[in-house]
Chain A
Amino acid sequence: EIVLTQSPAILSLSPGERATLSCRASQSVNNAYLGWYQQKSGQAPRLLIYGTSTRATGIPDRFSGSGSGTDFTLTISRLEPEDFAVYYCQQYSSSLPNTFGQGTKLEIK
């Protein structure tokens, strides 16, 4: 099983700042099959990025993903008030099971 470790656990920033969230895998993620989700309190996760860097439908271009192998990054270029939430990464390589990280909470400073 591929274990995903997200850092930092909590990130405190102000609106307008740039956010950089990290996701590290315990082994290489085949074909960069990695996604990112945003989850607000009481809601289901919402897909932001798949295939490491492809934005899902309707996702603003301030969200971007990058990385390869075992190290992946979600960047939010300029934080809007609605971006403060918990973010999860997920790997879906051909080695089952699909796994998720433990999350990074992005909070207002």
Chain B
Amino acid sequence: QMQLQESGPGPVKPSGTLSLTCTVSGGSINTMKYYWGWIRQPPGKGPEWIGSVYYHGRTYLNPSLESRVAILIDTAKNQFSLNLTSMTAADTAVYYCARHGDILTGYFLNYFDSWGQGTLVTVSS
């Protein structure tokens, strides 16, 4: 059973940078079968896709965030990471890492079939 776990430094100050890491266990991220993604969910709202990365480093980003987002993958450590710059209160949310479904089921940036537990990121001075 594949498991994903987010980790990060906790609260972020306004104008600061959020850095989160997702550690994957129970399987390798160095595979052609899946993309790996980041999603966030502000309190009381629906989820928002941030972006996704493939094993060789190719990324796809939400156009609304792409000027502030970087997603990297480290197959040696079985991890992928998120950096989000210029944080404001509007970025306060629970941040999840997740695995997309098998690309053979259809479009490669598809649904999310495995999720981390999420980490609450609060932007506050």
A interface residues, Cβ below 8 angstroms from B: 1, 30-31, 33, 35, 37, 43-47, 50-51, 56-57, 88, 90, 92-94, 96-103
Contacts and interface: CB of A to CB of B under 8 A. Distances in A.
Contacts, number: 65
A50 B101 contact: yes
Interface of B: 45-49, 60, 62-64, 96, 98, 101, 105-107, 109-113, 115-118
Majority SS at the chain A contact face? loop
B107 A97 contact: no
A93 B110 CA distance: 8
B63 A90 contact: no
User: Which secondary structure dominates where chain B touches chain A?
Assistant: loop
Nearest to B112: A47
Nearest to A56: B113
A51 B105 contact: yes
Contact of A96 (B46, B47, B63, B105): B63
Contact of A45 (B63, B64, B112): B112
